[in-house]
Chains A and B, each alone.
Chain A
């Protein structure tokens, strides 16, 4: 069965159960011209080397320095993630890290994270998470180590690769009501200028730490002024928004805007609204690797879909 077969027919419950038994927790999100359809990893065709396309990997929430029961060794699981990246059949062009590189933004944690992430041996583009801010809102130590050379303000920037325009947004420095993220007027003005003059047909990948969609506002899982950014992005035919922070795969489609939250490489969090609230979720040690992992994204030639493959460390 091809990707396009899945897109036309969707996936039935019987197929789903069959594939779940076979494939574990990996999920492929296939983005075509319309609503995204999901298939489980084992049911998708093997990744095809893109011809003239681009592939990259998203990792998130490495939380180097975290030591609690949810994962006493996040450096170890990051190393396992790096081994997964190096074993990919097509080496990605670069890594996107969607924040919370460290647990508490200490110099020692930044040193260890820099050392570990350099083992990937690929260019890395980052946005800060709230855990990467010193004393609650100072991004400068993060910026000195991880910011793109072209970064403005608190670390936002953009670049082009493979015909796609990538936009890094920072929504963790100035918090809104009840801990919601904000982008702020300065960043939104920059975004307006950055997008001006670009063709509506340019595929856009926008990435941030907090979700740009109202995933769970009661838990602070959203961005208060994201609608202003979305109004600037809505004219583009394909917009893919990637985020971290919530430590699990979640997705939402709003017209041409598609939002995807990624797993952490360190520990899971509860599903939105389940349990007393957000925070590190302790699972039995033998199940941890089914809840953490990486995401690979393939951008093929212009008329083919963009595919996201979420892989848990436990997946075969």
Chain B
């Protein structure tokens, strides 16, 4: 086996291994209850310490008007979907170092439920 071939095989193994397991299915009703812990800083329809959440799933990160985002989040290039939100809620500083959020949720099921709830909060 040449070095190049071994290198490519190694790369293919890395590519096949997801950085995070696929999020479990979420329960939006339980997610609504969990959202209470977000409400110290966020609400669905008003910017506060954090930006408003309605329509967050599918939105490009750092784009709510009249909210003062960190330059790190504005430059992140992220779009919020189930995968990016799961990583964000696991450890926002690992995903976007220098962002303003330090709140995290440890349990994968809690994150999935919360994301399922947020996905249902469509723009008015």
A residues with a Cβ closer than 8 A to B are 68, 104, 130-131, 135-137, 174-175, 177-179, 218-220, 276-279
Cβ B105 vs Cβ A219 within 8 A: no
Given contacts A104-B49, A178-B34, contact A278 B100 (CB under 8 A): no
CA distance A301 to B104 in the complex (A): 46
CA distance A68 to B46 in the complex (A): 10
B52 to chain A, nearest CB (A): 13
Given contacts A68-B46, A135-B70, A219-B39, contact A174 B102 (CB under 8 A): yes
Cβ A278 vs Cβ B104 within 8 A: no
Contacts of A276 in B (CB 8 A): 36, 39
Known A130-B41, A178-B37, A279-B43; 11 more pairs at CB < 8 Å: A136-B101, A136-B102, A178-B105, A178-B106, A179-B103, A218-B37, A219-B40, A277-B37, A278-B40, A279-B39, A279-B48
Cβ A279 vs Cβ B40 within 8 A: yes
Contacts of B105 in A (CB 8 A): 177-178
CA distance A98 to B48 in the complex (A): 21
A266 to chain B, nearest CB (A): 14
Contacts of B35 in A (CB 8 A): 277
Contacts of B86 in A (CB 8 A): none
Contacts of A137 in B (CB 8 A): 102
Q: Mark B47-74, 1 if CB is under 8 A from A, else 0.
A: 0110000000000000000000010000
Minimum-distance CB pairs A-B, first 9 = A277-B36, A277-B39, A136-B100, A178-B37, A177-B106, A220-B37, A137-B102, A136-B102, A279-B39
Contacts of B48 in A (CB 8 A): 279
**B38 close to A (CB within 8 Å):** yes
8 CB contacts below 8 A, A to B, read A68-B46, A130-B41, A136-B102, A178-B105, A220-B40, A278-B39, A278-B40, A279-B43
Contacts of A174 in B (CB 8 A): 102
CA distance A179 to B114 in the complex (A): 14
CA distance A136 to B42 in the complex (A): 13
Choose among A131, A175, A220, A279 the residue that contacts B102 (Cβ–Cβ < 8 A): A175
Q: State which residues 65-107 of B face A: CB under 8 Å.
A: 70, 99-107
Given contacts A68-B46, A131-B49, A135-B70, contact A219 B37 (CB under 8 A): yes
**B33 close to A (CB within 8 Å):** yes
Task: Pick the most buried of A68, A104, A219, A279: most chain B CB atoms within 10 A of its CB.
Answer: A279
CA distance A175 to B91 in the complex (A): 11
Choose among A104, A130, A136 the residue that contacts B40 (Cβ–Cβ < 8 A): A130
Q: Mark B12-39, 1 if CB is under 8 A from A, else 0.
A: 0000000000000000000001111111
Task: Pick the most buried of A68, A104, A277: most chain B CB atoms within 10 A of its CB.
Answer: A277
Choose among A68, A135, A175, A278 the residue that contacts B36 (Cβ–Cβ < 8 A): A278
Given contacts A219-B40, A279-B40, contact A178 B33 (CB under 8 A): no
CA distance A219 to B40 in the complex (A): 8
Contacts of B104 in A (CB 8 A): 175, 177
Cβ B100 vs Cβ A175 within 8 A: no
A171 to chain B, nearest CB (A): 13
Contacts of A277 in B (CB 8 A): 35-39
B28 to chain A, nearest CB (A): 14
CA distance A220 to B34 in the complex (A): 10
CA distance A177 to B48 in the complex (A): 21
B34 to chain A, nearest CB (A): 7
Cβ A219 vs Cβ B36 within 8 A: yes
Task: Pick the most buried of B36, B101, B103: most chain A CB atoms within 10 A of its CB.
Answer: B36
CA distance A276 to B35 in the complex (A): 9
Contacts of A131 in B (CB 8 A): 49
Contacts of A68 in B (CB 8 A): 46
The chain B residue sitting closest to A245, CB to CB, is B40
The chain A residue sitting closest to B35, CB to CB, is A277
CA distance A177 to B38 in the complex (A): 11
